[in-house]
Amino acid sequence: MDRLLASSALFAMHPAFLDAMLRQGSVEAVLPDTLRQLAAMMSGEPLTAKQPDPIREGSTLILPITGMLAPQGLSGRTYYDAIANRVREAASDTKIGAIVMPIRSPGGYVWGCTEAGDAIFEARQSKPVVAVADPFCFSAAYWLASQASAFYATTSGEVGSVGVRSGHTDYSGLQDKVGLKTSLIASSPDKIAAHSNAPLSDEDRAEIQAQVDESNERFVEAIARGRGMKAADVAAVHGQGKTFTAPRAAANGAIDGVMSLRDVVAKVNTSRARLSLMRRQAAVHEMAAAI
């Protein structure tokens, strides 16, 4: 991952996870590649993470979504592109009766999230797609889960952290202390806007805030569409950054209930349960269309 990019990108990610990632990135950015790889090996961290493969359970496809979410080309545990492709393939496969997505993710980049969410919402028009926070589902992962036909959480689960954030790192003070001076030459001021070698200007701050607000608006609209509610009501039910235990989320109506992954798979594997889910998602779709 480009460490400088990470500090200024748009994230839909649990703040504690994001802060830890950015702190780690700040340290790794000043390490030579050989030392960085050695540190990864000593910590037991794989140099290249392998995305979990889908699992067939009867006519149900279990599609795990784990770790940091990112578009291909950036570091992540699960790629939005792969989620979208696998969901579309499962939706068109007549041998698959339902899709279950166990989610264990703090969220990730905003880039690519809308498209993956759209693929999930489209798939649920042809068959049940059920998301399960197993045990945590935050921010961008919550965005995806809200697009499913139904959304559950395990008993010890936690969900939420709705919202988008970005940031800026000013390295000019550090450079002064070590005797460095960076001169940037660009075709226009916009090409080096919000660069890290100087304090953030008011104009650049306003631009970053506008991008955050625009992305958050898409997030809220996606939840409203997926859950069949008005965008104005999303904050009251799903929060604006808070996280909720599974029982609290169920009581608020943010999720459809508290249930283990095993029980969810058993439930959707019955034809009666599938019919009930399809009727429910059709009703939600009609409600969303009427808003």
Residue 236 counted as domain residue: yes
Residue 39 counted as domain residue: yes
User: What are 138-150's pLDDT values in tens digits?
Assistant: 999 999 999 999 9
This prediction has a pTM of: 0.81
Residue 143 sits in a domain whose CATH number is 3.90.226.10
| DSSP assignment string, the chain | --HHHHHHS-EEE-HHHHHHHHHHHHHHHTS-HHHHHHHHHHTT--SSPPPPPPEEETTEEE--EEEEEE-TTS--SEEHHHHHHHHHHHHH-TT--EEEEEEEEEEEESTTHHHHHHHHHHHTTTS-EEEEEEEEEETHHHHHHTTSSEEEE-TT-EEE----B------HHHHHHHT-------SSGGGGTT-TTSPPPHHHHHHHHHHHHHHHHHHHHHHHHHHTS-GGGHHHHH-SS-EEEHHHHHHHTSSSEE--HHHHHHHHTSHHHHHHHHHHHHHHHHHHHH-
User: What are 62-111's pLDDT values in tens digits?
Assistant: 999 999 999 999 989 999 999 999 999 999 999 999 999 999 999 999 99
Question: Mean pLDDT for the chain?
Answer: 87
Residue 238 counted as domain residue: yes
**pLDDT on residue 2:** 46
**Domain range for 242:** 3-166+207-290
Residue 182 counted as domain residue: no
* For residues 205-213, average pLDDT: 96
Count: domains in the chain? 1
User: What are 149-170's pLDDT values in tens digits?
Assistant: 999 999 999 999 999 999 898 8
Position 6 pLDDT exceeds 60:
no
